[in-house]
Amino acid sequence: MKQARWGRNTAPCNPHKGAILSSSAFTDTIAAVATPPGLGGVAIVRVSGPEVARVFPLLPKLPDPPPPRTACFTPLVDDAGEVLDEILALYFPAPRSYTGEDVLELHLHGNPHLCAEVLSLLATLDIRPAQPGEFTRRAFLNGRLDLTQAEAVEKIIHAPTREGRRAAVRLLDGGLGEAIGPVREALIDLLAQVEAHIDFEVEESGESVAPQLEEGLKTLLHALDPWVASRRTAERLFGGVRVVLAGRPNVGKSSLFNRLLGEERAIVTAIAGTTRDLIDRDVHLGPYPVRLIDTAGLRQTEDVIEAEGVGRSRRSAAQADLLLWVSDDPDEAPPEDLTRPCDVRIDNKRDAWGGTSGWQGEHRFVCAAKSDPDEVFEALRAGLGHLLGDVGGEESLTATARQGQALAEARQHLLAAQTLLRDDPDDLELIAEELHGAAHRLAELLGEIHGEDVLDRVFSSFCIGK
């Protein structure tokens, strides 16, 4: 596996020339607890900025200067010399640190009161509390990460499944930037050819740029297509999927819900209309994090409470990423007034009408929710995961809606240029405009151009300490 990108070079690259930097860039020193709150064996306080050396006097056994990237055992004392804890201190001098600044990590015993006292002590040294994501924001602005890698850090922390975490690790390793960076360079080269023909006129050069332009656009689109095509899969992998069980009363939706969960979550009785509100629970279907939703049976009713539940059921079905229609009659069709067609029909209670458990084609499943063995429902879960999309071996996955949108918009600009070229190959000014638009979107994707509002959105979901 490749070495983590922020540790590769002895000096940070700077791909952000002309970028809008933070108003605090980077005159102050920041600190935060980088480990989860609560009691634990170890808590890490991370300090970054130009005045990290202010902390050194609080670590009396720390060598001067501290050895880089070496764990040093030392007391941690307050301003009166009282020992607060025996700790390990690690110093990462700029630029070979996570943020690209001087970084000091204090590995304390995991007592929340101790952490709070240490942060208060650092505040007396004019070291302020970090904002959410500020360490990674500084890493980005110092050129240690591109924006897609910075977003990958947050996704690694919050990825709800193994597949999501692995996809995020590929992005952190530079997968998206390494794939799209050369695409943008090739796009700029193509744009330069077009603008040269505009400046010098086809009549003067005696050549047409159309053949090179046509081939170049095909190559660029071929490079972007896998990333754009995987956008929906990526959104589901990181954002989750809503899977809704719908059907008439007393067809076994709640029993099926419990079997898919592997626990008795929903109340099951022989009385029609037992479920009157939505019941949901998180579960995994294949590689995807899923919110599984059991709904009230769909029927006309005079009961005010049940009627409200039926209304919620219909709204939930309309919003489902995957709608499962449950029936106890294999000949019954789903109602025509559903706001969307069902994705899978599940014929339950097969022991009452003589069916065989299992998949009957890609969109029909037969079972007896109360009596079939667990293997039947493992097959159901696996099949539903397959319907949502296979991510096995998928290398071209984005991690955020921002990334997916930027790639899709860049592709639209290239398609527009392709159409213009086909309709009027001499209209190079309009073609160049579309190429500029595509290059701009790819630059935004990688964070080579950005505004503070973009960075605020990207880093607002980070935890403090990261």
Give the domain ranges of the chain. Answer: 5-145, 172-230+396-446, 237-388
Q: What integer pLDDT is reported at residue 86 of this predicted model?
A: 97
- For residue 387, the model assigns a pLDDT of 85
Q: What pLDDT shows up at residue 94?
A: 94
In this structure, the strands spanning 29-33 and 364-366 are unpaired
CA pair distance 261, 328, nearest whole angstrom: 20
Say what the pTM is.
0.72
Distance CA 35, CA 157 (A): 12
Q: Residue type at 337?
A: D
E strand or H helix at 365: strand 364-366
Predicted pLDDT at 129: 95
237-388 sits in which CATH class? alpha beta
Tell me if the domain spanning 5-145 has CATH number 3.40.190.10: no
Which CATH superfamily includes the segment(s) 172-230+396-446? Answer: tRNA modification GTPase MnmE domain 2 (1.20.120.430)
Q: Which residues contact 252 (CB under 8 A, 6 or more apart)?
A: 326, 328, 348, 349, 369, 370
Cα–Cα distance measured from residue 388 to residue 120, given in angstroms and rounded to the nearest whole number: 49
Amino acid 204: pLDDT: 52
Q: Can you give the pLDDT at residue 347?
A: 93
Provide the 3-class DSSP secondary structure of residue 455. helix
Burial label for 169, CB within 10 Å (0-12, 13-18, 19+), is middle
Q: Could you count the other beta carbons within 10 Å of the beta carbon of residue 151?
A: 27
Beta bridge partners of 283: 290
What's the confidence (pLDDT) of residue 375? 93
Nearest residue to 99 via CA among 62, 148, 47: 47
Q: For 153-166, b where at least 16 C-beta lie within 10 A, e where not — what string? A: bbbbeebbbebbeb
pLDDT along the chain (466 residues), means of 10: 32 36 66 93 96 96 92 95 96 95 97 96 96 91 89 87 87 87 93 84 63 93 90 85 90 89 59 61 86 85 78 87 91 82 92 89 91 91 83 69 91 95 90 94 85 71 73
**What local confidence, expressed as pLDDT, does residue 2 receive?**
38
- Asked if omega into 65 is within 30° of 0 (cis), the reply is yes
